[in-house]
Amino acid sequence: MDTPPAQRRYVAVDPEDRSIRIEHGPTPSPRPGEVLIKVSAAGLNRADLLQRKGLYPPPEDASPIMGLEVAGVVIATGAGVDNWHVGDKVCALTHGGGYADYTVAPVSQCLPIPAGLGMAEAAALPEALLTVWHNLFQRCQLRTGERVLIHGGASGIGTLGIAICKAMGAEVYTTAGSEEKCRALEALGATRAINYQAEDFEQVLGDLGMKDRINVILDIAGGDFIQKNINVAAPEGRIVYIAFIRGARAEVNFGPLLMKRLVLTGSTLRAQSFAQKAVMVREILERVYPHLESGAVKPLVDRIFTLEEAEQAQDYMQSGQHMGKIILQM
């Protein structure tokens, strides 16, 4: 196994014009409860775009370097680590620092790479896995036989969420921004994918007999979707927000909230404690990993860029053209 180098390459943001460049700095040493990973691939997330713009500052104890998920090989372990060893292949949710060729991660946020997956596919897993599990299955208690609506179905979270919900026995509806994406999402397991650019999802679901029959809704859109979500939700329905791409403000009639006894909630993953994320990881290993190992659930990788192409990769994500995850390969 390679000896960790004194210096690593990482992506830095110019504080003036917010452009991206490659810099060199000390390779971190793993602290107690951490592993040092030689990174093969890192996943992109919209949080990275916001952090680059200065709109989503990392927690004080986090790395200032962008990047929340990686896949690679354990190259060193910190004190007290006995469940991961040098040479192990791993994918991990990092506390920042993923846009680098070496990074550290808490062992409680490390996951084995499922059989049959390469490093790029493995790097597409951690953030989406924890986001889907926490919001749909922990917060909203999605159950077998229920109907779920996933907005932003073509995103990394959306594509993996559709596959997981289908594998767990839910009936999945989703929205996306083109007919091509909608047909691909139906091939992934969605019963009906709705092109929100050309169709009103509330009307389409009504025409399908699904008005007041959607049990759980995962929304990244907000804005004008907020009222429509309430309108299509079933009695005792649960609606969870993880972003507000269409706006965080809306005029809403909350009357149906009372009549249907709805639950409105929301979350961000990064702000939660290591202990909370550790519970998510344990439950994912027990409940979702069998479907990953069998191939019933598989992450969808759209495009792979080099570390030096990080700015182009983020521009591509900002354009919304992608279907699945965008990956940086070292």
User: Which two structure tokens, joined as six digits, stand for 102?
Assistant: 């070496």
Strand partners, 102: 38
User: Which two structure tokens, joined as six digits, stand for 234?
Assistant: 């079933």
Per-residue pLDDT of the chain (330 residues; tens, 9 = 90+): 678 899 999 999 999 999 999 999 999 999 999 999 999 999 999 999 999 999 988 998 999 999 999 999 999 999 999 999 999 999 999 999 999 999 999 999 999 999 999 999 999 999 999 999 999 999 999 999 999 999 999 999 999 999 999 999 999 999 999 999 999 999 999 999 999 999 999 999 999 999 999 999 999 999 999 999 999 999 999 999 999 999 999 999 999 999 999 999 999 999 999 999 999 999 999 999 999 999 999 999 999 999 999 999 999 999 999 999 999 999
228 contacts 254 by C-beta, under 8 angstroms: no
Q: Find the DSSP H helices in the chain.
A: 46-52, 119-123, 126-132, 156-167, 179-188, 201-207, 225-232, 255-260, 274-287, 289-294, 310-319
- The pLDDT of residue 1 is 63
- The pLDDT of residue 300 is 97
- The pLDDT of residue 3 is 84
Domain 7-124+299-329: CATH superfamily is Medium-chain alcohol dehydrogenases, catalytic domain (3.90.180.10)
140 contacts 111 by C-beta, under 8 angstroms: no
Domain extents in the chain:
7-124+299-329, 129-266
**What pTM did the predictor assign?**
0.96
The burial of 80, by beta-carbon neighbours within 10 Å (0-12 exposed, 13-18 middle, 19 or more buried), is given as: exposed
Strand partners, 92: 70, 110
Q: Could you name the CATH architecture of 129-266? A: 3-Layer(aba) Sandwich (3.40)
What are the helix and strand counts (H, E) for the chain?
11, 15
